[in-house]
Amino acid sequence: MNVTMPSQSIRPRLIKLVGGSEREADRRIDLASSELVTMRTVKLGKVLTADVSGEVELLIGAGPRVEAVRVASGPSQLQQLTPAIRRATLSVAFPEPDDSVKLLRRGVVSCSSGGSARSS
């Protein structure tokens, strides 16, 4: 249900599973959506003092650990986040430790002047 165009057969099945309540189905969909955002968000701490956001590409190796960071779009200030991103602890399912396996991921980085930086 958390995709741009979910299958038309899923919602009725979910409603049936939760006892026929559309309200309960909507509540569970909203809860799951927010849990997905939380699961894929990595907090980087207070790195910048400006409101900035952009996209980054990460090369992830065994560990998992970030081996390379490239700012794909956004202001040049995002380059300052590179060390914090490389130190970040990732919760990525990764195959058995094998230095030949790499994972390329693209994500959004945002910083707020009143808070901290985060990547998702």
Share of the chain above pLDDT 90, in %: 39
Q: Are residues 20 and 54 in the same domain?
A: no
Q: Are residues 114 and 55 in the same domain?
A: yes
Q: Give the pLDDT confidence of 9-56 residue by residue, as tens digits.
A: 988 999 999 999 999 999 999 998 888 888 888 888 888 888 889 999
Q: Are residues 68 and 103 in the same domain?
A: yes
Structural domain boundaries enclosing 100: 43-119
Q: Are residues 18 and 57 in the same domain?
A: no
Does a structural domain hold residue 79?
A: yes
Strand order in the sheet with 117-119: 42-45, 117-119, 103-111, 52-61, 65-73
| Omega before residue 64 within 30° of 0, cis | yes
Q: Are residues 58 and 29 in the same domain?
A: no
pLDDT of residue 86: 92
Does a structural domain hold residue 3?
A: no
Contact 74, 61 (CB under 8 A): no
Domain count, the chain: 2
Q: Are residues 32 and 66 in the same domain?
A: no
pLDDT of residue 3: 76
Q: Are residues 32 and 53 in the same domain?
A: no
